[in-house]
Structure formats: C-alpha cells, structure tokens
Amino acid sequence: MDVHKDNAAAAEAANPFEASLAGSRLFPLMSSCISTLQVNMGRVCNQSCRHCHVEAGPGRTEVISRLTLDACLRILKDRRYPIVDITGGAPEMSPHYRWFVQECRRVKCHVKTRTNLTILLEEGYKDLPGFFAANRVEVIASLPYYLENETDRQRGQGVFEASIEALKALNARGYGMEDGLALNLVYNPCGAFLPPSQRSITEDFRRELMKRHGIRFTNLFTITNMPIGRFLKFLKDSGNLNRYMDRLKTSYNPAAAANVMCRQTLSVGWDGSLFDCDFNQMLGLKCDHGAPDHISGFKGPELESRRIVTGVHCYGCTAGAGSSCTGAVAD
C-alpha cells in the first residue's frame, strides 16, 4: 500500500493544496521550529493600496494592546526566538511601536520592521530613520517598481515620489550601505501575474534606482500577490480569478513548498490570536490541529511543531520560485 497515494486522495477531496503537498510528500505540512515571531500591530495605515491583503487604511481602528505586546516579549525571552518581524498596516502608527522595538532589542532579538516608506514623511514620523538606525532595525520597504506610473497605479498617486524621498532619508542614515543597516525592498507584480526571477529584477532595480535617483539598497524580495483581501476583489472584478488561480496551481513547486515561511514563523494578530502566517490571519484561519490559537494559551513546544492550516491561497507561496515575507524561497 502506498501511504502517500492514499494521503493524496484523501487530501484532494478536502483541500487541493493538501493534495499537492501529499504528492510531494509534505502532507501534513508541519512547522519545523519558530525562528521568527511576526507581530501584527494592527490595521491602521496612512495608505489604502489596491493589492493590500490586510485591507488596511486610515479608517481602520484595530491596534495591538500593550498587554499582548508584553506577552510577546515574555515569549521572546523565554523561548529565545531570534527574530521579530513587525508588520501591520503601517506598524509605526501603533502607539506602542517604538517602545516595543526597544524592548525587543533589550531581549537581544534581531528586529525587522515593515514600512510603506510614505509614513516616514508624515508629521510625527520623520525621525524614524534615525530611530531605526539607533536600534539596528532591519528595514523592509515596499516599492512595487522603480518607475513612477507602475508604483502609483498600485499604491496611489504621489506614492512613488514620497517613497524615493524616504529611501534617500534611509540612505542618509547609512541604510543599504553600512553593515547591520539592511534596507530590503519588496517588489510585487502590478497585476494578475507571477513575479519575474528575483535575481534578474534585483539587478534592474539596483541599476535604475542608482542611475535615476542615486539610491542604494541591500536586497530585493519578490512577493507573489496572494489571492485574498483587496487583490482577490480585483481578480474577481477584472474577471482574472480563474486564470490567476490556474497559473498558481500549475506553477506549484515542491522545492518552494518545502520552504514555505510558516514552517519557521508564528504570526501574532493585533488581538493576540495566533496564526501560521499573515495571510491566514487575514482569512481568520487561526492555528489549529490541537495547537493553541491565542497568545494567552501559548505553549512553545506545541506551537514549534504544530500542523499548519492550509487552503487554496497557499498556492501563492508555492508557485514558481515561491514567495514569502523575505521573497523567493526556491530561486
């Protein structure tokens, strides 16, 4: 009897992604450890981009509490997870943001922060490049493209110009140039297609941003647009949903599946709920299969070897070279 074949048949009925996993001997998908605690500070953002998978915006009010952040710090200290990845919305807009970054540094974590760049030009946030540098924070900045039209089409009028100004402010602090001051850019396609090779588009970004604006950066991460949130709505409205899903499915790559980020990450929602990743968070798919689903019931050993909750959206992480919060996983 071929156990993997049987597993594949059973999984196919319930969840085609799990059938693909079974076909590559990865079913059920299990976490291998937790090296990154991803903390979502809330849904508030100064932008409202059309591809946003968390549907963030200026009108949102959800924000993480100090109590939940205290619990995150206790966990980081007790379990010695090496990396904290702070995300949002625009995480900088959380009232506890700066305090939390400093406390994470105090417990010797490497801190990554996601930034949309434009927030760094707003009143009350202009000193953030200096704050990041003082705390050796790795900056991961969204920049969909090195040309104005493509960027503004996806993120809104004037976003490109503001992003360039913010990148220059980060460069002026040594970001993208000095050791320990990594400035990583995030590229995602401006439509219903997969990203190009991370290596080749990095060269294009490096050449063009230097030539046109004198900007330097460390690495560029390519990210596949996930078929959830506002991007899902765009796919439906534009009649592209089936074609896009077919493309993701037919591009399933076992090597990328073996390296999906949820295997080494735990994601904390703004309300303390626990998720396998940010995307499951958006879909309301909490940790399951017996693992605790709220930070108040945190149990390290169980969560570090938990079974991951998957769905068809997971094809977004496993198509082509794969996609994660740190770019391609099988380039």
Cα-Cα end-to-end distance for the chain: 35
> Which run of H or of E encompasses 105?
helix 97-106
Name the minimum Å distance from CB 107 to ligand SF4: 25
- Alpha-carbon gap, residue 23 to 41, rounded angstroms: 37
Name the minimum Å distance from CB 276 to ligand SF4: 4
Say which residue the tokens 């100004």 belong to. 165
Give the range of 64-72, 164-172, 204-212, 307-315 binding ligand SF4 by CB under 6 A.
307-315
Name the minimum Å distance from CB 325 to ligand SF4: 9
Residue 38, CA distances (Å) to 110, 113, 246, 307, 308 in order? 12, 10, 30, 18, 16
Indicate whether 45 belongs to the interface with ligand SF4 (CB under 6 A): yes
Of the two residues 52 and 170, which places its CB atom closer to ligand SF4 in the complex? 52
Give the range of 133-141, 181-189, 244-252, 274-282 binding ligand SF4 by CB under 6 A.
274-282
Show the site string, 174-213: x = touches ligand SF4 by CB under 6 A, - = not. Answer: ----------------------------------------
Show the site string, 95-124: x = touches ligand SF4 by CB under 6 A, - = not. Answer: ---------------------x--------
Give the range of 50-58, 176-184, 194-202, 286-294 binding ligand SF4 by CB under 6 A.
50-58
Q: CB under 8 Å, gap of 24 or more: what pairs does 91-95 form?
A: 91/40, 91/41, 91/42, 91/115, 92/119, 92/120, 92/125, 92/128, 93/41, 93/42, 93/44, 93/45, 93/46, 93/119, 94/41, 94/42, 94/44, 94/63, 94/64, 95/63
Name the minimum Å distance from CB 289 to ligand SF4: 12
Of the two residues 73 and 159, which places its CB atom closer to ligand SF4 in the complex? 159
Q: Region of 173 please: left (phi>0), alpha (psi -120 to 50) or beta.
A: alpha
Indicate whether 11 belongs to the interface with ligand SF4 (CB under 6 A): no
Give which of 259, 183, 265, 186 is closest to 221, Cα–Cα: 186
Q: From the list 47, 202, 224, 253, which residue makes contact with ligand SF4 (rule: CB under 6 A)?
A: 47
Give the total of residues touching ligand SF4 (CB under 6 A).
25
Q: From the list 56, 69, 75, 190, which residue makes contact with ligand SF4 (rule: CB under 6 A)?
A: 56
Q: What is the 3-state secondary structure (H, E, C) of 26-69?
A: CCCCECCCCCEEEEECECECCCCCCCCCCCCECCCCCECCHHHH
Of the two residues 8 and 309, which places its CB atom closer to ligand SF4 in the complex? 309
Indicate whether 276 belongs to the interface with ligand SF4 (CB under 6 A): yes
Of the two residues 56 and 274, which places its CB atom closer to ligand SF4 in the complex? 56
- Alpha-carbon gap, residue 183 to 162, rounded angstroms: 16
Residue 51, CA distances (Å) to 91, 157, 231, 257 in order? 18, 15, 4, 23
Indicate whether 308 belongs to the interface with ligand SF4 (CB under 6 A): yes
Note the residues at the interface with ligand SF4 (CB under 6 A): 45, 47-49, 52, 54, 56-57, 88-90, 116, 142, 260-262, 276-277, 279-280, 308, 310, 313-314, 317
